[in-house]
Amino acid sequence: MAAVVVSVSSCPFHQFSKPSQGRIVLVAGLGVVGDAHLGPTVRHRSRVARDPTQPNLRQVHLLHAELLDELANKGFAIAPGDLGENIMTRGIDLLALPSGTRLTIGGRAQVEITGLRNPCQQLNDFAPGLMAAVLDRDAEGNLIRKAGVMAVVTAGGEIKPGDGIEVELPAPPHCRLEPV
pLDDT tens for 55-80 read 999 999 999 999 999 999 999 999 99
Q: Which residue has the higher pLDDT, 96 or 46?
A: 96
Task: Name the pTM for this structure.
Answer: 0.96
Q: What value, to the nearest 5°, has the Cα angle with vertex 73 and ends 68 and 77? A: 55
DSSP 92-131: S-GGGSPTT-EEEETTTEEEEEEEE----THHHHHSTTHH
Confidence of residue 125 (pLDDT cuts 50, 70, 90): very high
Give the model confidence (pLDDT) of 132-160 as tens digits: 999 999 999 999 999 999 999 999 999 99
B/e letters for 79-88, b = 16+ CB within 10 Å, e = fewer, are ebbbbbbbbb
Q: What is the mean pLDDT of residues 75-90?
A: 97
Confirm or reject CATH 2.40.33.20 for domain 4-168, answering yes or no. Answer: yes
Which residues does 170 contact at the CB level (< 8 Å), separation at least 6? 98, 99, 100, 101, 102
Region of 34 (left: φ > 0; alpha: ψ -120 to 50; beta: rest) is left
Q: Where are the domains of the chain?
A: 4-168
